[in-house]
A and B are shown apart, each in its own frame.
Chain A
Amino acid sequence: MSEKKQGKHVAIYGKGGIGKSTTTSNISAALAEAGYRVIQIGCDPKSDSTTILRGGNDLPTVLDTLREQSKVRIEDVSAVGFGGVLCIEAGGPVPGVGCAGRGINAAVELLQELKLFEEYKPDFVLYDVLGDVVCGGFAVPIRDGIADRVFVVTSSDFMAVFAANNLFKAVNKYAPSGGARLGGVIANSIQAAYAKSLIDDFTDQTGTTVVGYVPRSITVAQSELYGKTVIEALPESGQAQVYRNLARYIDENEESVIPKPLNAPELKRWARSWGDRIFEVESGVVHNMASI
């Protein structure tokens, strides 16, 4: 598959609710705006990855369609969204039933069988994958060389960093045998004073880099309420420029690393040290004029 791979394949992971779909959709929109052919594939049973690219319209998922009809065509499971982005949702079972991990696997396999990439000839394919790598199924986009690079979205919340560290473990496991490497970390919802430093420190510790800082912004929420990306709804905004910069980074940089995830005690120690520092920042303690 890798020899005739069409376009750059990028997987975006991160803790649930951290803003993966928003970030991915805005990157897709920015790439499309720059004239590229883009496919965005939502790999999450919630099936809401591409909602803001296509104005909130219904889109049958690959797996639902596969269940209903024996023969599935790309037209049945895709919609053209903002800037011509081809939107696809893998879909999955209802909560509590079946195996979503296998579902992602089956959906990605089907798209390959349908020769989606050969037919559509995308410049970029973005996989927006559900939160933690809870089981093998959710690691599919980074295994077998389906995606070339993984970007991990995290905020400065410990649980988001914890999830990012787990994702590093998955990348670390699969990269040596041809799996995707880490393109970098996208620092999202940057608001608190220490947030940037905390994420920077985490990436330093794990041998990774932050490729973009996305500030928390009302424009994102506003655009989503309109069912649009920031690129589409508020193209002149500073936030739109942030996403364009991210898209440009993904376009222009090929750099990737195999991350060095922290083990459990290391991560715990690291978190503790930040706990102390944040407390001191919030309560105004200053050591030797240092500030973080």
Chain B
Amino acid sequence: MAHHIEGSRNSCALHGALQVIGAIEGAVPVIHSTAGCGMQHHLGITRLNAGNDTFGGPSVSSSNISQKHIVFGGGSRLREQLKNTVKIIQGELYVIVTGCSTEMVGDDIPAMTKEGREQDFPVIYANTPGFRGDVHQGYQLTIKALIEQLPKLGKVAEPVSDSIVNIWGIVPQQDPFWFGNLEEIGRLLETVGLKPNLLFGNGQGLAAWQQVPEAVLNLVVSVWGETPAQLLEERYGTPALVLDALPVGRASGRMLQAVTERLHLDTRRAERVIQDEENRLTNHLAALADTYYRSGFQREFALVGESAQVAGFSEFLAGTLGMIPRLLIMTDNPPDHARETLYSYVTSFVEGYGTELFFSEDHGEITDRLRSSSAELVLGSALEKEVAFEMGVPFLELSFPLVERVVLNRCTVGYRGAITLLEDVGSALLAASGHRIQEA
């Protein structure tokens, strides 16, 4: 039965597209839709999470179509907008992204793109109307467009001798820690002698994207990375390694082992790296031990976020830190096959805890479930702050949207991310402990 969704955190496909393009250096989005689409993205996402993108935020290029373009078609308006954008914003790549209105009307975007290319504009397009789905669909649709259309621009990638690994499944901004997370996964891959292709963030431009077909492996860290990996397997025969969750703490070691095995790398080197990283993590855990027992870290927690985050964070918090997962809510609407995988993955480390796992993007339902849970700590998005306050329990912003944290290159995956989680969760617990320094 149809039901209403209150306060969804998954925005729309066009926004996902803008987040993908915004995270690629030198890529310039050109929105072909009504004026509200770009603004909505700025108000709902960019302003919260990313400040002003280089070419995004309120200054994003948009055809801002009006009624006459709906009635007579918006092709000529798009042509004009593309020409003007190329004049005003210097970029390596222009990506036309469409909204609902122009897709309903059926504007011939491929023809306009081809026309742009005939004038030597490096332009591609992605059909990303909001009715195609949410931010995750936008991520997939745009990546598909990039993979399929970049070869048409005719530039050939620089030959590479390194073993490149593309990383898929982290949606820029929808994962507020995307930048740091990609860097940490990249850092770990480098330790075993691979060249990570982060694709988004610092220094990740057209050249990185042109190297995508050269990769020896596609590493998938959430269900949303499966489509790009499948497409690349079909087109270029690149194998994929699919993780069930974001690798946090010891799961990062398993990731390195799996990659090493798959690519027949030096096993001893990988084990040395893992040992070093684990020692480092263990030292931090040991340093925390006193506070851990004194402040009662071992609490029942509720965690609300994207499926890969929830699975990854909860494994670390429960498995390594010994906290008790009470309620886990995955908000990104993973497809059915992924739900089964996630369910059995989570079951493997929550067995015996009586943990409840739900899939929901409805703020109302999430709030109700939190309220009726016995959680003593709420980890989630800014949307969960109020109910945590009502429940009188400590709260930490960990998933989109964040409103009270500045996140630049902080990460929540890998070994470093595990240490960050220790710091952040620990700080949230201590801040709420009412501890005061005695006056002399």
Contacts and interface: CB of A to CB of B under 8 A. Distances in A.
Interface of A: 63, 66-67, 92-94, 97-100, 102-103, 106
Contacts of A94: 72
User: What's the interface size class on B, roughly?
Assistant: 10 to 19
Contacts of A102: 67, 70-71, 105
Contacts of A93: 71-73
B1 interface: no
B73 A98 contact: yes
Given A63-B72, A93-B72, A93-B73, A106 B67 contact: yes
B180 interface: no
Contacts of B105: 98-99, 102
13 contacts: A63-B72, A66-B68, A93-B72, A97-B72, A97-B73, A97-B106, A97-B108, A98-B70, A98-B71, A98-B74, A102-B70, A102-B71, A102-B105
A98 B76 CA distance: 11
B221 to A, nearest CB: 41
Interface of B: 67-75, 104-106, 108
Nearest to A109: B67
Nearest to A103: B71
A103 B69 CA distance: 10
A97 B75 contact: yes
A66 B68 CA distance: 8
A102 B74 CA distance: 13
Contacts of A99: 70-71, 104-106
Contacts of A67: 68, 71-72
5 closest A-B pairs (Cβ-Cβ)? A97-B73, A98-B73, A103-B71, A98-B72, A99-B105
A103 B70 CA distance: 8
A98 B103 CA distance: 10
B372 to A, nearest CB: 40
B109 to A, nearest CB: 13
A103 B74 CA distance: 13
B258 to A, nearest CB: 51
A106 B66 CA distance: 11
A101 B337 CA distance: 40
A106 B68 CA distance: 9
Scoring B75, B104, B105 by chain A CB atoms within 10 A of each residue's CB, the highest score goes to B105
A43 B395 CA distance: 59
Scoring B68, B71, B72 by chain A CB atoms within 10 A of each residue's CB, the highest score goes to B71
A103 B108 CA distance: 18
A99 B70 CA distance: 6
Contacts of A100: 71
Scoring A67, A98, A100, A102 by chain B CB atoms within 10 A of each residue's CB, the highest score goes to A98
A92 B71 CA distance: 7
Nearest to B69: A98
Contacts of B69: 98
A63 B68 CA distance: 8
Scoring A63, A92, A102 by chain B CB atoms within 10 A of each residue's CB, the highest score goes to A102
B290 to A, nearest CB: 67
Scoring A63, A66, A67, A97 by chain B CB atoms within 10 A of each residue's CB, the highest score goes to A97
Contacts of B70: 98-99, 102, 106
A100 B67 CA distance: 11
Given A67-B72, A98-B71, 8 more contacts: A67-B71, A93-B71, A93-B73, A97-B75, A98-B70, A98-B74, A98-B105, A106-B67
Contacts of A106: 67, 70-71
Nearest to B74: A98
Contacts of B106: 97, 99
Contacts of A63: 71-72
A99 B108 CA distance: 13
A213 B74 CA distance: 44
B80 to A, nearest CB: 15
Nearest to A135: B104
A20 to B, nearest CB: 22
Nearest to B67: A106
Contacts of A92: 71
A113 B331 CA distance: 45
Contacts of A66: 68
Contacts of A103: 71-72
Contacts of B67: 102, 106
Contacts of B72: 63, 67, 93-94, 97-98, 103
A90 to B, nearest CB: 10
A100 B105 CA distance: 9
A99 B102 CA distance: 10
B413 to A, nearest CB: 45
A63 B108 CA distance: 21
Nearest to B71: A103
A92 B70 CA distance: 11
B130 to A, nearest CB: 17
A67 B71 CA distance: 10
B106 to A, nearest CB: 8
A102 B105 CA distance: 9
A103 B73 CA distance: 11
Contacts of B73: 93, 97-98
Contacts of B74: 98
A71 B425 CA distance: 62
B101 to A, nearest CB: 9
Contacts of B108: 97
A140 to B, nearest CB: 13
Contacts of B104: 99
B70 to A, nearest CB: 5
A67 B75 CA distance: 14
Nearest to A66: B68
A124 B332 CA distance: 56
